[in-house]
Amino acid sequence: MRLYVGRSAIALAGAVATALLVSSGATVATAQQPAPPKFAPQSIVWPTAKDGYLLGSCGNASCLAEVQATHDGGKTWATAGKTHNPLAMSGEPGLTSLQFASATFGWAYDPYLEVTKDSGKTWTKVQVPGGDAKVLQLLAAPDGTYVVTSGCAIGTGICDDRPLKVWRAPAGKSTGWQQVKVTVAADDNVLFAADAHGPTVYLLTASFTAPNRLSTLRDGKVRSTSTLTCADAEDAIVTDLATNGPNRIFALCIAHYGRGQSEKTVMVSGDGGKSFRYDAVPGTLGLGSQLAVNADGAVMLTTVTASLVYNRPALTKSWRYDQSWLENSEHIHDLVWQSATTAWLVERDAAYTPDTQLWVTRDAGKTWQKSGVHQ
């Protein structure tokens, strides 16, 4: 983190010196005002190809989180509004992520919860459903908003005696939460994926000790449940879930992971999770983290510990990656498609540093460039 130590002391010394000079009749040049803190992006979403939103801050916990918006596909960005909470450091109160169900309706969350209904201009605090302490995961879908909550106090980690809960609010609403009837252990990882144009939501309960359970939801009700088994079942975990159309499900598995290495497999289903085929990703560098699939079938996945983005273009079986555009071991996250060829991600975390960076590819992952938030 870049520390601005001693700024108050320097300002005080300057004020004293100025007062002495003015009292003696000397001419004093007016000092240039310091530039306002720059916007550091933390989370990015694209509810439409034209409408994008960024959650960010000034790069330290003293600032409230701010939302920047574009309505011209990313050519220009402007401040939409500010939330009531700052960005959250690990185990601390605040906000971490952003999701929008449409161009106007969205959420900032983890561990607190806020909602906007006017494209980010104004934000309203929302009580965590069920009186729980924090939100761990959220999906803003055409079917409604789904959240995973925990009763464990913020900063206390996992409470083994308190299972997690899944809730749903109707589309466009921030009230009327109903608990979804799925069983989630305290240490399970819940992953969501939603059909962008339909009512179906997929919920995966990824467990370290039990089979992974894939549930198909509509209107908050479980329609079917199946088991998802990674290729190396005894030493594998599922880290992300995605969909790009009716009955099309993608899951990212990693196995034999450790010391910055893992065997990565993308599992693909075309029948709503009844069966899967395995697509091994070449190379073991990096731990597979996030998965994103566009409407044409192009697949991207990010890794932690290696700062790599693997991608498989649509209608091909070949994977590729380029490690020349990022320094090793930087945290990259919030991988999201904007269109068939354009995708974005964020480097570093704005709760810890003002030096986060937005990256964009406009050729489906072949090359990446830095992108500033131009107002």
Mean of all residue pLDDT scores within the chain: 87
pLDDT in tens, 120-150: 999 999 999 999 999 999 999 999 999 999 9
345 pLDDT exceeds 90? yes
**Residue 374 — very low, low, confident or very high, per pLDDT cuts 50/70/90?**
low
User: Out of 17-21, 151-155, 288-292, 340-344, which region has the weakest mean confidence (pLDDT)?
Assistant: 17-21
Determine what percent of the chain falls in helix, strand and coil, rounding each to the nearest 5.
5, 45, 50
Confidence (pLDDT) at 187? 92
Maximum C-alpha span of the chain: 86
Residue 111, preceding peptide bond in cis (omega within 30° of 0): yes
What share of the chain has pLDDT > 90, as a percent? 71
13 pLDDT exceeds 90? no
Q: Residue 313: how many CB atoms within 10 A of its CB?
A: 19
Residue 121 · residue 81 · CB < 8 Å? yes
Confidence (pLDDT) at 326? 73
Residue 192 · residue 203 · CB < 8 Å? yes
226 pLDDT exceeds 90? yes
Confidence (pLDDT) at 360? 96
Q: Which residues contact 264 (CB under 8 A, 6 or more apart)?
A: 252, 253, 254, 280, 281, 284, 286, 288, 301, 303, 310
Beta bridge partners of residue 251, listed in sequence order: 241, 267
Residue 354 · residue 2 · CB < 8 Å? yes
pLDDT in tens, 144-173: 999 999 999 998 877 877 899 999 999 999
Across the range 208-226, mean pLDDT stands at 93
pLDDT in tens, 21-34: 233 344 334 445 44
Task: Look at 257 and 208; give whichever has higher pLDDT.
Answer: 257
Residue 43 · residue 55 · CB < 8 Å? yes
What share of the chain has pLDDT > 70, as a percent? 88
Across the range 248-270, mean pLDDT stands at 94
Across the range 247-256, mean pLDDT stands at 96
The whole-angstrom separation of Cα 102 and Cα 116 is: 11
229 pLDDT exceeds 50? yes
328 pLDDT exceeds 50? yes
Query: Of 205, 303, 212, 291, which is closest to residue 251 (Cα–Cα)?
Result: 291
Confidence (pLDDT) at 12? 27
260 pLDDT exceeds 90? no
41 pLDDT exceeds 50? yes
pLDDT in tens, 50-95: 999 999 998 666 789 999 999 999 999 999 999 999 999 988 999 9
The position carrying tokens 């939409």 is 80
4 pLDDT exceeds 50? no
Tokens linked to 226:
């199946």
Residue type, 36: P
The whole-angstrom separation of Cα 43 and Cα 56 is: 7
